[in-house]
Amino acid sequence: MAKHIGILTAGGDSPGLNAAIRGVGKAALRAYNMQVIGFRDGFRGLVESRYIPLDSNALSGILTLGGTILGTSRDKPNAMLMGGQLLDMTDVIVDNYRKHNLDALVCLGGGGTQKNAYKLLQRGLNIITLPKTIDNDVAMTDVTFGFDTALTIATEAIDRLHSTAHSHHRIIVVEIMGHNTGWLALGAGIAGGADVILIPEIPYDVELVAESILARSRSGRGFSIVAVSEGAMFKEQAAEIRAIEKKLKKADSPEDKEKTTAALAALEAGRIGNTARLASRLEELTRLESRVTILGYLQRGGIPTAADRLLATRLGTACADLINDGVFGVMVAARGDGMEPVDLREVAGKRKVVPLDHPWVVSARRIGTNMGD
């Protein structure tokens, strides 16, 4: 009997999603004669039973498309907005999984999706996931699909910004996505020749950054490119957040926990606008004109690179192989040129951050890039 599998894409859109859908679907259809359907708009589509058949026609011509043909959302199964209320829709998902006679549900997404998928696994569903995000922060995989495309876009942006920085003798501060990890800013900063790279893992001292820019100016290089991750923090902010996190671990009463959690959330919210504050402070300290460029969602759109298409296809076809072999409760992780099924328990709720001794960090320091510390 042919197996029935469902596929959904959740969280932020990312280059390579359609390539992954195609990889799973075509391998399932051609190699194993499975029946495949795709749920619209993430977990919400599964709750509302909105789906499309993923046959050969639906999977044709989507390899190079950006975004996801299924649509996506950030809805959580256990806290979904329904009729103005946040409701736990997990039971509905379980019922619909059975109504569609699914033998497996494939969830394509980042850290949040891995966590939500694990919760469904705990309810007895056959779950398998693929690691997607431009942030490259999913635990237990060498790389996520979407990262290479975003890295290429961010690098090209820095390349172009060099012209303006050089012509006008300016400091150009370019904000790069990455959430609370620095993979994207670090990689694009090195590849684009940024003079300063600031990432969340290394809280920065703005005065040290200013000193390095002034040193460049005194040596005749009257411009600087600062690549800053959206999650990067002033060292003072980082110290406050660490102190609050320690306090939260020691909090005993529910009231203390609630109060400390609210304080932590306020500090985290205070990081918004850091890039503008950084540029203003650098202009003040160096007397050099500063300009901010925020790349934003440009990094998530467009045609996926060849590397992302290859990775997504490779992981997608491996996913179909695992389903045929009855292997569930895993994420299909990239390992070199191959793949490895990793227990979802090892992935859910974890984040892959940049180690301080990572070769990229070491290389950046070797060539004289200022890391803010």
Domain boundaries, the chain: 4-145+304-346, 148-300+356-366
The CATH architecture one would assign to domain 4-145+304-346 is 3-Layer(aba) Sandwich (3.40)
Give the integer Cα–Cα distance in Å for 276 and 186: 19
| Six-digit token string for 372 | 């803010």
DSSP conformation class of 44: H
Placement of tokens 């950030």 in the chain: 74
**φ and ψ of 160, to 5 deg:** -70, -35
Q: Which residues contact 357 (CB under 8 A, 6 or more apart)?
A: none
**CATH, domain 148-300+356-366, list 1.10.4030.10, 3.40.50.360, 3.40.50.460, 3.40.1280.10:** 3.40.50.460
Active site residue 75: no
pLDDT of 2 reads 65
- Residue 331 near residue 114, CB atoms below 8 Å: yes
Render pLDDT for 52-94 as a digit per residue (tens, 0 to 9): 999 999 999 999 999 999 999 999 999 999 989 999 999 999 9
Counts for the chain of helices (H) and strands (E), in that order: 13, 13
pLDDT of 343 reads 97
Catalytic residue, chosen from 41, 75, 103, 135, is 135
Placement of tokens 């980082």 in the chain: 238
Give the integer Cα–Cα distance in Å for 59 and 150: 24
| Six-digit token string for 287 | 């007397």
Cβ neighbour number for residue 307 with a 10 Å cutoff: 16
Q: Hey, which residues does 79 pair with through a beta bridge?
A: 76
pLDDT of 257 reads 77
Q: Which residues contact 139 (CB under 8 A, 6 or more apart)?
A: 111, 114, 346, 347, 350, 351, 352
Give the integer Cα–Cα distance in Å for 336 and 193: 27
pLDDT of 1 reads 56
Which of 68, 81, 15 shows the shortest CA–CA distance to 42?
68
| Residues belonging to the chain | 373
Give the integer Cα–Cα distance in Å for 74 and 183: 22
Q: Hey, which residues does 4 pair with through a beta bridge?
A: 35
Placement of tokens 């003079």 in the chain: 195
Confirm whether 4-145+304-346 and 148-300+356-366 share one CATH topology: yes
Dihedral angle of Cα 312, 314, 316, 317, to the nearest 10 degrees: 160
DSSP conformation class of 303: P
Q: Which helix (H) or strand (E) holds 293?
A: strand 290-294
Q: Which residues of the chain have pLDDT under 70?
A: 1-2
Strands, E assignment, the chain:
4-9, 35-39, 51-53, 80-82, 85-87, 104-109, 127-131, 171-176, 196-198, 224-229, 290-294, 330-335, 338-343
